[in-house]
Amino acid sequence: MLTLLLVAHASAQPVRSPRLNAEAVLLLDADGRTIFEKNADVERAPASLVKLMTLYLAFESIERGRVDIEDVVTVSPHASRVGRYRMGLRTGEHVPLRVLLEGVAIASANDAAAALAEHLAGDEASFVDRMNTKGKEFGMAATRFANAHGLPDPLQRTNAKDMALLIARLLHDYPAARTLLGGQTFIYRGRVYARHIPLFDDPLGVQALKTGFTHEAGYNLAVAAWRGGQEFVMIVLGSRSRAQSFLDAKRVLRFGFVETGLDPPEPERVRPTKKSIRVRRAAQATP
């Protein structure tokens, strides 16, 4: 199990820190050691990273036999009215629980998260109580959940350290979540729901990822990568665009690979001096 002791990782060779757009970042290795951090303790809005706890409690309920993954969930008026992003669930509609799990993980569907919460706890408020209880059990001292989906609420707060702890626990305790959070498409009611994540196509070892966005939070990411037999967990909070969040994640992962010896350091680029430019031009002009 990942023992998330957030102690600094000392590299034998100093590596230039990545330039980032995000407000807060944390990269941990498999032992929970901090490879890189920026404002990891600063309070932020989690946006849809909240759904990591929703998924955790769903998997826990399945494991304990409280619900079955093939349960058919009846969509309530409340769940059908939850705002974007949505699967377009309708009041009274019957949806398999496994489809709601895909909707939460892949489409980040807020209506699916609300329907799942109600099925697991009777109503969303009771489910939120479970979320906060589990957060305290994990030691997520900076986190307060207010809903099951991550839409803005002034009470809903977290930081990068707590979110790193949460995704690490989810992936360790319920390995099926790795496959779910690594999915890019699913089909419901004849419609294909797809998410286009360039990090999955980059040779960085990214296998599980959850996005989040609100105007308040900015663009958030929770990422797990496996490379060279090593596991990395990363949180990116408050990037200014979706593309920038992926670029920040890529830069931090590459930094981590160098720090842990998986990749060699990139050679420093030496700026040419006026003298070297004149020498080069003279050499090129010589017949």
**Alpha carbon separation from 105 to 21, 113, 137, 150 (Å, rounded):** 25, 9, 23, 13
Residue 273 is predicted with a pLDDT of 55
Q: What is the mean pLDDT of residues 24-32?
A: 95
pTM: 0.87
Residue 199 counted as domain residue: yes
What CA–CA distance (Å, rounded) separates 102 from 278?
61
pLDDT attached to residue 282: 53
What pLDDT does residue 16 have? 73
Task: Please state which of the ranges 58-72, 139-153, 195-209 shows the lowest mean pLDDT.
Answer: 195-209
Segments forming the whole domain that contains residue 131: 24-285
Nearest to 221 by CA among 186, 252, 192: 252
What is residue 281's predicted lDDT score, i.e. its pLDDT? 58
Within its chain, how far is the Cα of 109 from the centroid?
Answer: 15
Q: Assess if residue 84 is contained within a domain.
A: yes
In the chain, pLDDT over 70 holds for what percent of residues? 87
Q: Is residue 2 part of a domain?
A: no
In the predicted structure, residue 270 carries a pLDDT above the cut 50: no
Give the mean model confidence (pLDDT) for residues 261-285: 59
- Distance CA(184)–CA(182), nearest Å, equals 7
Average pLDDT in the 228-250 region? 96
Catalytic positions are 48, 51, 108
| CA gap 245, 239 in Å, rounded | 5
Is 169 inside any structural domain? yes
The CATH number of residue 152's host domain is: 3.40.710.10
Q: Longest Cα pair distance anywhere in the chain, in angstroms?
A: 85
In a domain, 117, yes or no: yes
In a domain, 16, yes or no: no
Tally the domains of the chain: 1
> 14-25: per-residue pLDDT in tens?
567 888 999 999
Q: What is the mean pLDDT of the chain?
A: 90
> Has residue 14 been placed in a domain?
no
Asked whether residue 52 is assigned to any structural domain, the reply reads: yes
How far is it, in rounded angstroms, from Cα 149 to Cα 114?
7
pLDDT digits (tens, 9 = 90+) for 93-141: 999 999 999 999 999 999 999 999 999 999 999 999 999 999 999 999 9
User: Would you say residue 5 has pLDDT above 50?
Assistant: no
**Which is more confident, 283 or 173?**
173
What is the C-alpha to C-alpha distance for residues 36 and 25, in angstroms, rounded to an integer? 8
Locus of tokens 């070297």: 276
Q: What integer pLDDT is reported at residue 85 of this predicted model?
A: 87
- Position 15 scores a pLDDT of 60
pLDDT above 80: residue 226: yes
Q: What is the pLDDT of residue 155?
A: 97
Helix, strand, coil % (nearest 5) of the chain? 40, 20, 40
